[in-house]
Chain A
Amino acid sequence: MSDDDTGQGTDDEGRVVLVTGGSRGIGLACARWFLDHGDRVAVTSRSGTVEDDTLDGRHPGRLLVLACDVTDAEQVERAFTAVEEAWGPVEVLVANAGITRDTLVLRMGDDAWGDVIDTNLTGSFRVAKRALARMLRLRRGRIVFVSSVSAFLGSAGQANYSAAKAGLVGMARSMAREVATRSITVNVIAPGLVETDMLAALGDDRKAELGTLVPLGRTAEPEEIAEAVGFISSAGAAYITGAVLPVDGGLAMGL
């Protein structure tokens, strides 16, 4: 199998990976995974920080932390340019940045709807489009969208979030078809209940209630999602594209 077929380069310095929304939670766990596997990782967050002070010290020269609000096309452009100037084109994109603005539909204003769609769906579109422009030239690349079980199960109080997460699936599959001839794969990870600030915000009662629905009987650690993101970005996953990989302890199996 040639490099082109696997969609991977052979750079000893590791691939150039960009993770949006990487300051904490799933994004941070993904950044750690790629760093631990020898890649160079650019992490974006709105604050331009990561909630792990030790990361830079443990991986000198292989971590970039950039401020980027994915709702702002100019900031997206600046972030990608910064990565390209430092290391070259992004070879693996993990579009993970997302927000919630939970409320019942009848109380959901257009702004709560629009903000979540703009960040979670349109923001993912913006970064993927920017990444693809260079991946096409490279004739390789991996794009991973971080969706959610709520795309399939729905989630009371999260019509906006669930719509955005479901939208990622159709978008990813369309992109996958468009760029398949260039050995670029586009896939979706659909996490279930993950121990993040976003889950904590649901409150203990709701968390416990949801927990009883998980066949594996527990929530996931962010690292367990990162393992799946890492695999689907690997050389070994060259023949997987347009897939939705649930990492949810069985919560939404079959959907």
Chain B
Amino acid sequence: MLPNVRSDFPLLTRTVRNGKKLVYLDSGATSQKPHSVLNAEAEFYQFHNGAVARGAHLLAEEATDAFETARGEVAAFIGASSAELAWTPGATQAINLIANGFAAASDGLGGVEAERFRLGVGDEIVVTELEHHANLIPWQQLALRTGATLRWIGLNDDGTLRYDELATVITERTRVVAFTHASNVTGVVTDVAAFVSRAREVGAITVLDACQSVPHLPVDVGSLGVDFVAFSAHKMLGPTGVGALWGRKELLNALPPSIFGGSAIKVVTMETTTFLDAPQRFEPGTQPVAQAVGMAAAARYLSDLGMDNVAHHERRIAAILREGVGEIPGVRLLGPTNAPHGVLGLAAVAVEGVHPHDVGQVLDDRGIAVRVGHHCAQPLHRRLGLTGSTRASGHVYTSEDDALAFLEALATVPQFFGVSA
């Protein structure tokens, strides 16, 4: 059981829209931050700020130590070691780093080690139809650049993945399989093992978008068996501007860097550069140091709560939200109520005859913050015959009362717009 942690989050004490209590149900877009994260960042700036990995003074030492300690803590949070975790400005950039590494290799960079990332005509990249645009567009553009073909695992009518297509879409021609750990729209958690075992059969590299899973579920990269994982801090109670790319060490060291600058190098001449080993080879320029420290504080905060407890709490919120919307006439839940590998504590809904923006406006008037639109998943919405939806998504601070307030407000929507049955 999770204790009531609302008081740890200063923003949640403010009121909105003429003194109403804030019901924050947009955590899938970005989460609120506890005092411990805010303090960690402030404390770094107040006492330890200095240039990381350069400079011979005390502050430089302390800053470097804070930065690398943070790396270790965030890596440990997903069951990994520091040497396999590169800081990025966010998950989007992490996925782009991988895709651009493939592109650089395909252009002939990276030497023999990069051979396995080299793509061309005849090679195939596999994604799924429910991906967030951040895990679709980089691969789509990589295909366009290299001449490889983009293929995808389709969806059933209820928005769940067509696992039966794994065997036919992932073939000997498949070089990389990029898929989400949990949908940011349907909330359904993916059967990662099914993807990994099929990808392994054909020798394809696996890339997991873990943006929606790492903040809400226990994630252990070792037992997942994937090759790369991307996630961001701001969805897991941490700061904006920082995220992480985890990869198997031998792959990270072979993947050509695609952003260049100071610090990531061994030797530079006018003609050539040799790069440091991972993770530093992916970290040119000044890094988001205070944010990394904040991300580690967020990982600590979640670990102290216990990710099993967090997941348990999420399941309770999911049950209230998802079963609740099913009982409101004229409201359709995107995705199934539950799924074999579980669902996140969120519900995306379509209200018959009412546009998501209008739904969101009615909720906002009651102090309820939700996401409206396509949630960066246009193909998924199109597949479900929609242009957008209204999504309520919770986190550790979300109470049953928050979920009930959402359901109560949602039930008034059809009548407000004169479309009630």
Q: Do A and B come from one complex?
A: no
A residues near B (Cβ < 8 Å) are none
